[in-house]
Structure 1
């Protein structure tokens, strides 16, 4: 997996790729705990999955999905140091758990063939951040932009 980085601008040569996996992912709030280092997968870079690495900080209600979420801290700072995300958006980096590995492999099988042979960073455009500082997958947005 490519080292995590801040979100680059979308590569205009590619149309957004649908994400049928994340919205259907069944991961509970209890799957993660404060202190876990996780990644939010956002696309492909140089033939590998790419995303933003953050640390799980504290429980936080995720208003767009009406579910328990997590407050996430970006250790590198960036435009927004803390955001709130739904557990299904997260993949463990700090440990190798079966659920996250299965999801990671499924994402690789879904995305990597679509961008084989391309070295460009491709942001698939699945996430936005609301005015409340919540990371929202486009499938969960419910008109929130």
Structure 2
């Protein structure tokens, strides 16, 4: 049950939903490496988790958390082809590692029942991109950034 490697059309229904799992996720920078295909889970679409699929490019400092992060590339381009993200935001897309599978399953158990009756794209509103091109979870935002 991997999330789709594509992002559905940009007409999401915004549904502010608390995220108790990602901010508490204990995942280290070393868990990911250059070349890994990852996804940042952002919500639900048609009864499945969805998010933005990207490739890990290089180590990068994640200013909003003052921790090691990863520079990611979105192969489909879009508004921003490159961004920096904290490791706890990422899930391996192609590799079935235990840590990512546990997190993925927990997200499914938490989110899918909430939106079982809805088929449209549900963006849970957890992430924003700063002017510096850094992906920031709402729980990590500082000073309105």
Q: TM-score range by the shorter chain?
A: over 0.9
Does the 8 A contact of 1:7 with 1:52 survive in 2? no
Q: 2:83 & 2:122 partners in 1: Cα distance?
A: 22
The SS at the match of 1:140 is: coil
Q: 1:113 & 1:29 partners in 2: Cα distance?
A: 31
Q: 1:7 & 1:107 partners in 2: Cα distance?
A: 22
Gaps of 5+ in 2: none
Deviation >3 Å, runs of 4+: none
Aligned residues: 143
Does the 8 A contact of 2:47 with 2:112 survive in 1? yes
TM-superposed CA distance for 1:117, in Å, is 2.0
1:1-145 alignment runs, 5 A limit: 1-5=3-7, 8-12=10-14, 15-145=15-145
1:29-74 CA-to-partner distances (Å, cap 9, x unmatched) read: 0000000000000000000000000000000000000000000000
Gaps of 5+ in 1: none
Q: CA RMSD in A?
A: 1.3
Q: 2:82 & 2:9 partners in 1: Cα distance?
A: 15
Change (3 A) 1:57 1:7: farther
